[in-house]
Amino acid sequence: LQTRLQAGQGYGNTLNCVLTVYRNESVAGFFKGMSFPLASIAVYSSVVFGVFSNTQRLLSQLRHRDSARAPVLADVALASTAAGFVSVGIGTPVDLVKIRLQMQTQPYIKANIKLKPTVPGFPVYQGPIHCFRTVLQKEGIAGIYRGAGAMLLRDVPGYCLYFIPYTFFCGWTTPDGCISPNPSSIWLAGGVAGAISWGTATPMDVVKSRLQADGVYLNKYKGTLDCIFQSYQNEGLKVFFRGITVNAVRGFPTSSAMFLGYELSLKAMKRDQTETNP
C-alpha cells in the first residue's frame, strides 16, 4: 500500500488503494515483492542494531573509559547516524527490488516472455532474482543503488528520530532502581519511536519510492532534486505526505517487535556470558 500510494497513480486514499489492489489483483497483490525483504530482514536488522549498539559502546569507552556506561544524547545521535549510513548500503538494493516488483500491476504471464513488453500494465520482471539481475545488467551498480541519496536523507535523520525517542521513552517509563527496562516499557517505547520516525521520514520516503519505481517502464526523474521539483510542480506539497498514515500505523507494531526482540536477545546473551564466566 505504501509504495502504491507514494509512487502509483489513481489511488485517492488508503482505503481506495486497498480496494483497488484487491479488486484488480486479489489478496496476492498485497504480498508482491515480499520474498526479497523477508529473506534479508534478519541480516539488515542485525547489522543496523549491531552498528548502533557497538558505536554507542565505543563512544562511551572513548569518552568515559567505560563501555558499559549509559550513553549521553550526543553519543546516541552519532550512533544513530552511523546506523543510518550503514542501512543505505544494505537496504537500497532490497527496497529497489521490492518496489519494482510492487509497481507491476499484473502477475507474470509466461506467454509474454518472448514479447518482452515495456508498456505499463505488463510485467517486466519474473521475480526478485530476475529483477535484480535485469537491473544490474541494464543499469549497472548505479541502477541497483538508484534512490540511495534519497534513502540517505530519509534514514540518517530517520534513525536519529528512531533511537533517540526510544532511549528517552525507555528511560522515562522504567521505574527508578531498575537496571534494565521491562518488556512493556520496551514495547511501548519502541512503538512510539517507530511511529515518530516513520511519520517524519515520509517526505523523503515518497521521493525514494518514486525514484526506485522509476525505470520499470520509463525513466522520468534525473535524480533526487529533479524528483522533488517535478513532484511538487505536478501535485503540490501534499504529495510528500502520501502514505504517512500507513507508515505511522505500520511503524508502531513493527518497531515494538524489533526493539523487544533486540533487548531480550541482549539480555539472554549477557545471562549466558555471566553463567559461562562467573
Q: Which amino acid is at 170?
A: C
Cβ atoms of 91 and 44 closer than 8 Å: yes
Q: Cell numbers at residue 209, please?
A: 519510492
C-alpha grid cell for residue 264? 531480550
Listed residue (158, 152, 170) closest to 194, CA to CA: 158
Query: In angstroms, rounded to a whole number, what is the distance separating the alpha carbons of residues 204 and 254?
Result: 20
Give every CB contact of residue 222 below 8 A, 6+ residues apart in sequence.
Answer: none
Q: From first to last of the 278 residues of the chain, give the pLDDT tens digit.
A: 677 777 776 666 677 777 777 777 777 667 676 776 777 788 888 899 999 999 998 988 888 776 667 778 899 999 999 999 999 999 999 999 888 888 775 443 333 334 344 444 456 778 888 889 999 998 899 989 999 999 999 999 999 999 999 988 887 877 665 667 788 889 999 999 999 999 999 999 999 999 998 876 667 888 899 999 999 999 899 999 988 888 888 889 999 999 998 888 888 776 655 545 55
Q: How far apart are CA 190 and CA 163, in angstroms?
A: 9
The CA distance from 56 to 50, in Å, is 10
Place of cell 518472448: 114
What pLDDT is attached to residue 175?
Answer: 67
Q: What is the per-residue pLDDT for 222? A: 87
Please state the pTM of the whole predicted model: 0.80
Which DSSP symbol is given to 73? Answer: H
The identity of residue 190, as a single letter, is G
Alpha carbons within 13 A on the beta-carbon side of 122: 12
The pLDDT value given to residue 114 = 41
The single-letter code of the amino acid at 200 is: T
Residue 236's φ and ψ, nearest 5 degrees, are 80, 180
What span, in angstroms and rounded, lies between the C-alpha atoms of 189 and 209?
Answer: 28
Residues 6 or more apart whose Cβ sits within 8 Å of residue 212? 7, 95, 96, 99, 100, 146, 147
Alpha-carbon distance of 99 to 7, in angstroms, equals 9
Predicted local distance difference test score (pLDDT) of residue 9: 67
CB 245 within 8 A of CB 18: no
Alpha carbons 162 and 255: distance in angstroms, whole number: 9
**Angle (nearest 5°) at CA 276 between 274 and 278:** 55
Position 204 scores a pLDDT of 94
Cα(159)–Cα(151) distance, integer angstroms = 11
The terminus-to-terminus CA distance of the chain in angstroms comes to 51
Task: Provide the residue type at 13 as one letter.
Answer: N
Q: For residues 14 and 17, what is the distance between their CA atoms, to the nearest angstrom?
A: 5
